[in-house]
Amino acid sequence: MANQEIKMETKKSPIINIAHMTKVFPGVKALDDVSMDLLEGEVHALMGENGAGKSTLINVLTGVIPMDSGTILYNGQKAEFHSPQQAQQAGISTVYQEVNLCLNLTVAENIFIGREPKKLGAIDWKKMNADAAELLERFDIHVDVKEQLSTYPVAIQQMVAIVRAVDISAKVLVLDEPTSSLDEKEVQQLFSVMRRLKEQGMSIVFITHFINQVYEIADRITVLRNGKFVGTFDTDKLTYMNLVSTMIGREFEEMVAEKKTEIDYSKSPNIIELRNFGKKGKIKPLDLEIKEGEVLGLAGLLGSGRTELARLIFGIDKNDSGVIYVHNEQIKRMYPQKSIKLGLAFCPEDRKEDGIFGELSIKENIVCAYQSSIGVLQKIPKSKQEELANKYVESLEIKTPSLNQKINKLSGGNQQKVILARSLATQPKMLILDEPTRGIDIGSRTEIQKMILRLAKEGMTILLISSELEEISACCDRVVVVRDREMVAMLEHTEVNESSIMKKIAQGGEN
């Protein structure tokens, strides 16, 4: 990896130098020997799919969590911050996606909170408001500083946060996905603030999922994948395609399974049929047929609309246009209980947030979805529960000392298997898997991938959402590509390979 480090420009010197940073969480290496440097007066994009380690890197850098090994040089001196406050005092400020300001205070109060200008021991409101207005003027932000912050859109709030950080003598600014909830005009406003800061010699770390924006604003790009450093690149020397491929990765891990036998599913009956099906702001209306027995891939970058489509099909969100047919029967209103009754099951992407019932046992976590499908009054007898749980603990090789173990205590990979077991226990005809191997160790990852193929061979219909292209191309018969909340391509089974998927994901932006 060392050969990928780029030559430093003569004028600029690194303000931050991170070397061999490693951070291990139970069951997963969040950062594995990551090195990068940040130059004075540059906008440095930090990219990678979810779980790549971007947030962990920032959290370690700004003192939210300690690192296990490695060094940070700040202004050429060894530094390790023990809290975000310490980092801030040293000049490293972070502005998060969710603005952490006080929405109920005025703009001026937010900028000066904790360091209000005083006159005779009391707050000098006049000076505070004047100073705040002047500060914002400098960045071309025209707002009434005496208004409550909550009356302004998120973009303004974010810029207020940035201005506040800058005013507290920041030398390095970390922007964690600042643009994810902004519209195009607001993004441009933010970028003009960023450019101005850059001219003043500020170094900016810019985390985002939006590739277009990176090309617009960033000087250099550092890519992380699965906690590993992939490389730092000059933006103008890295093509769109190459960026996507470095983010998603092409190295084959020990993917043992051979591809499914080539069966043509086009004559098979539809299990799901979507006509003009979509929801505003989630996914543009689309037509799609999912055939019985096939593995349909849903590929695209994060935020492209892939999870949103799956949630609409399962009925967690309601579509506002089009119709859905399940087994050729039109369903007026899909909702999760109904979906399960119709033979659908959903393993969500965010295991902690949407998957596990942390306080409950493995057994309870496995049986609950099946129990909900047969109703609350008819409780599954204890012996049957144990039999069911045992069956899946064995067949999915879930490593646990007992069925009564709290699921919290398991590793990520084993938790994922329990969630999979919960879905399988409902005996579904179609399984929706949203990033089934994200953020888990390589061992469990391979096991889960094998399991997907085994289920497919046994005739299960699977809708597989994944950012791992090798996973998609190894498992899927057909692949739907989504980009910017729109279906942009359908690859039939002869066309399914990594480079074709990658092309479709990247192309959308260049058309």
Q: Tokens standing for 94?
A: 């972070």
Q: Please provide the size of the chain in residues.
A: 511
Q: Within a 10 A sphere around the Cβ of 491, how many other Cβ atoms?
A: 22
Q: How far is the CB of 63 from another protein (least distance, A)?
A: 23
Query: What minimum distance in Å lies between the beta carbon of 361 and another protein?
Result: 10
DSSP 228-283: EEEEEEEGGGS-HHHHHHHHH-----S--PPPPP----TTSPEEEEEEEEEETTTE
Report d(CA 190, CA 470) in Å as an integer: 36
Q: How far is the CB of 354 from another protein (least distance, A)?
A: 5
Please identify, using beta-carbon distances, which residue of 311 and 445 lies nearer to another protein: 311
Q: In sequence order, what are the residues at sequence separation of 6 or more whose Cβ sits closer than 8 angstroms to the Cβ of residue 29?
A: 22, 23, 227, 441
**SS (HEC) of 385-433:** HHHHHHHHHHHCCCCCCCCCCEHHHCCHHHHHHHHHHHHHHCCCCEEEE
Residue matched to tokens 């007898």:
381
Cα angle 425, 274, 507; round to 5: 105
Closer residue to another protein in complex, CB, 248/345: 345
Residue (232 or 426) nearer to another protein, CB: 426
Of the pair 98, 137, the CB lying nearest another protein is at: 98
Query: Rounded to the nearest whole angstrom, what is the least distance from the CB of residue 408 to another protein in the complex?
Result: 10
CB contact set of 434 (below 8 Å; sequence gap of 6+): 306, 307, 310, 346, 347, 348, 349, 465
Q: Is residue 247 within 8 Å of residue 48, measured between CB atoms? A: yes
Binding site for another protein (CB under 8 A): 314, 316, 336-337, 339-340, 346-348, 353-360, 364, 367-369, 371-373, 375-380, 422, 426
**Residue (of 111, 74, 303, 335) closest to 211 by Cα position:** 303
CB of 227 to another protein, least distance (A): 26
Q: Which of 150, 337 has the CB closer to another protein?
A: 337
Cβ closer to another protein: 324 or 356?
Answer: 356
Query: Taking the complex as a whole, how short is the minimal distance between the CB of residue 355 and another protein, in angstroms?
Result: 6
Closer CB to another protein, residue 360 or residue 442? 360
Tell me whether residue 132 or residue 418 sits nearer to another protein (CB atom).
418
Q: Give the contacts of 198 (CB within 8 A, at least 6 positions apart).
A: 41, 42, 43, 204
CB atoms within 10 A of CB 377: 5
Helix 382-395 × helix 362-374 angle, to 10°: 120
Minimum separation from the CB atom of position 315 to another protein (A): 9
Residue 233 or residue 314: which is nearer to another protein going by CB? 314
* Least distance CB 59 / another protein (angstroms): 23
Is the CB of 340 or the CB of 501 nearer to another protein? Answer: 340
335 φ, ψ to 5°? -145, 160
Q: What's the longest Cα–Cα distance across the chain?
A: 84
Q: What angle do CA 244, 47, 503 make, to 5 degrees?
A: 10
